[in-house]
Structure 1
């Protein structure tokens, strides 16, 4: 896409999301729920894949885990589902352009965040009925990752959240400037790999990590540890998406909206 059409596209999408938000809130929530469920199911496969390599003693066990997780965001982008992290960028640009109201921005973020969580919890409930991942060893990859997330400082979590959604929103924006579905798909996968492999904090993916850890009775995990991570991670995601990408790109390209 050209510079003009990429910014115009995001503004138009934000305006379209606002219409659905007000006219069909049930459909909006359902879209967010499906996005959350996709995050959870792909994360489950990613963890099982990584565990195979970890159990085999492979030093690069986290590479396949990070590489496969991009399937989730690619599916969400191409199906135009509502994911909190990318939604932050869309509505920030929509508000800056004047096409979206501030109250719609706040309402959208709350509804999408809640819908993503509901989708994750529903998937994990069904997954529990299917036996989950079985009895996990104490050194399982899931437990190792979650332990790092709840024991990091709030400041570290916040800045990792900023970096995460800066990259995630670039994974949404950059493909708009490209032609060809294969090229766009590869760019999404590569950028998602960057954030996941780096250990940055994605609030919605973290919800899935915690839900799966609770399902498999991770020792020492409690609500306080979850909130210690999710609050700064969410705030960081908002800053990274709304300011790091939304505001910056809008300031760089706003002149194209009048062309």
Structure 2
């Protein structure tokens, strides 16, 4: 993809998403559910992988967890299914260009968020039938991460959400500027590593963290704790994706829309 056509491509993609949203909402919801299920499945394996290193006393155990999680975003991009965090960027650019209506932007965000949640819950329900993650010790990596997420200050969670989706949307945007498939794959994996290893807050990944923790019977995890994290994380994701990437790249490259 040529440099001058990247913004035009994103605008066209946003317009296509809007068309599917309006004409086939069931398909749109199913696409979002698939993305949520992928996030939950890859997160489950990431945690199991990290726990192997943690149990062995390896200090770099979280490197394994963060390194593998990029598989989720790669799969979502390749399959072209709807993830809330990147959808925020697409529809922001679409709305700024005039190709998408603000009412459809809000409708899309709500539907994709719901679809992602349904996908996470569907995967976790099937995983429960398969025996879950097995019997986990109380110091398991899953429980340790969730404890940090629910005990952080709300404002801290918000800004970590901003940083997270700034990085995630760059992980979607930057590969569009590359011609090599191998380079695209590498930059996606590395940028996802940046957000995950840094402990930033991804609202959809957090849905999976909390659903898995509930499934595994984590002690003391209340619904109020979950909302304490999810609300500021989601708002932060919107700001990071819409303003940090969507608005910025539109302002930087809107001249290319007239050139294409």
Unaligned runs of 5+ in 1: none
Q: Is 2:80 the partner of 1:80? A: yes
CA distance in 2, matches of 1:151, 1:4: 45
- Which residue number in structure 1 is paired with residue 62 of structure 2? 62
- How big is each residue's C-alpha offset from its partner over 1:86-134, in whole Å with a ceiling of 9 and x where there is no partner? 0000000000000000000000000000000000000000000000111
Task: After TM superposition, list the pairs within 5 Å mapping 1:35-46 onto structure 2.
Answer: 35-46=35-46
Q: Is 2:99 the partner of 1:99? A: yes
- Which residue number in structure 1 is paired with residue 222 of structure 2? 222
- Which residue number in structure 2 is paired with residue 198 of structure 1? 198
CA distance in 2, matches of 1:147, 1:2: 45
TM-score by length of 1: 0.99
How many aligned positions are there? 259
- How big is each residue's C-alpha offset from its partner over 1:2-31, in whole Å with a ceiling of 9 and x where there is no partner? 332100000000000000000000000000
CA distance in 1, matches of 2:200, 2:140: 20
- Which residue number in structure 1 is paired with residue 209 of structure 2? 209
- Which residue number in structure 1 is paired with residue 113 of structure 2? 113
**SS in structure 1 opposite 2:162?**
helix
The 4+ residue runs of structure 1 with deviation greater than 3 A are none
Q: CA RMSD in A?
A: 0.5
TM-score by length of 2: 0.99
**SS in structure 2 opposite 1:133?**
coil
CA distance in 1, matches of 2:31, 2:239: 23
Task: After TM superposition, list the pairs within 5 Å mapping 1:81-160 onto structure 2.
Answer: 81-160=81-160
CA distance in 2, matches of 1:111, 1:170: 23
- Which residue number in structure 2 is paired with residue 239 of structure 1? 239
